Amino acid sequence: MEANIFTNIVLPIALAVIMLGLGLTLTPDDFARVVLFPKAFFIGLLCQMVLLPLAGFAIAHLFPMDEKLKVGVLILALCPAGATANLITFLSRGDVALGVTLTAFNNLLIIITTPILVNLSLIYFLGEGQVIRLPVLRTILNIGLIILIPVSIGMLIRLRKPHFAATVEKPVRYLSMLFITIAVLGAILQEWQNLPSYFYQVGLAMLVLNVVTLWMGYNVARLSKLPLKQAIAISIEGGIQNGTLAILIASTLLRQPIMSIPAAVYSLIMFATGAFMIYHFGQRVAASERL
């Protein structure tokens, strides 16, 4: 699977619009809590930057697959959450400010960590390395244009027009659900003929990776005595990976489209499990608020 007009243009524009709507629900105090009480941030960082790659490495070893596919699994595990995770956190009623903070920080951090660890993966599984460099300027622009700037504009609108922000919050939630549906259908239609082969090769492995990382993030957070909404954010940040970046690394930087198959399959699976998380976590938050 290769990056295409859907992943390169349609998806980022739609995400930016949704992130603006998401910003309508946030205030500066939400981010201040992350800074003043950083425990949740560091636990989320641990789950994304340490436990997630370890889970990917374990999955690559446990499931029989081509060595290049194993590298693809590691590439995916080294590409932590993007804007889609923030959207699902929002729809799941998790701590959006924590999710946005983790996404922005991790996507800067992986400019350094991912090329090093991908190269080690190539050496470990294939016996050869390959120097890769993430496009630093492009990565920073993506963070700004898709996440930080739209969220900031939404927050500014809420500050200046609080009544308007409150009025559109519910429609934005429904629009976001529609966006997820369109994203899933678009991804399926573009790879319709290849999906049976892709799922046969890595489908079960990617489902296990997705479920394990969602479960792991939530339970590590709860064992650390974090509130429910922060645990939801950490779970989704750990279990909804940046498949688009993984496809870019495999297909464009490494010129190995076969290595992008795990990311392609994972991206479809995570939308299905993400829909379940939206319902499940939404119900739990609603129940806790009734107490």
Using the structure block, give the residue that is written with the tokens 């989320």: 44
Rg (CA), the chain: 18
State which amino acid sits at residue 277. M
Going by pLDDT thresholds of 50, 70 and 90, the confidence category of residue 18 is: confident
Q: Is 287 among the domain residues? A: no
Residue among 237, 234, 251, 209 nearest 80 (CA): 237
DSSP state of 259: G
Q: In this structure, is residue 214 part of a structural domain?
A: yes
Tokens at 46, concatenated: 């641990």
In a domain, 46, yes or no: yes
Cα separation, 68 vs 125, in Å, equals: 8
Triad 187, 193, 199: Cα angle to 5°: 75
288 assigned to some structural domain:
no
pLDDT for the residue numbered 59? 94
Q: How confident is the model at residue 39 (pLDDT cuts 50, 70, 90)?
A: very high
290 is a domain residue: no
Handedness of CA 213, 219, 224, 230 (dihedral sign): positive
Which stretches within the chain are classed as H helix?
5, 11-23, 28-36, 39-46, 52-62, 67-77, 83-91, 96-126, 136-142, 149-160, 162-190, 195-223, 228-239, 243-247, 261-290
- The number of domains in the chain is 1
Band of the pLDDT at 12, cuts 50, 70, 90? low
pTM: 0.80
Question: 3-class secondary structure for 46-95?
Answer: HHHHHHHHHHHHHHHHHCCCCHHHHHHHHHHHCCCCCHHHHHHHHHCCCC
Where do we find the tokens 């399926």? 188
What average pLDDT does this structure show over 95-112?
A: 83
What value does the mean pLDDT take over residues 153-176? Answer: 79
Vertex 262, ends 59 and 113: CA angle to 5°?
75
Alpha-carbon span 69 to 246, nearest angstrom: 12
Q: Is residue 204 part of a domain?
A: yes
pLDDT tens-digit profile of 133-160? Answer: 655 566 666 666 666 788 788 889 888 8
Band of residue 242 on the pLDDT scale cut at 50, 70, 90: confident
Q: Is residue 289 part of a domain?
A: no
CATH number, residue 58 = 1.20.1530.20
Q: Is residue 26 part of a domain?
A: yes
Q: Provide the domain limits for residue 68.
A: 5-282
In one letter, which amino acid is 200? Answer: Y
What does the alpha-carbon distance between residue 242 and residue 107 come to, in Å, rounded to a whole number? 10
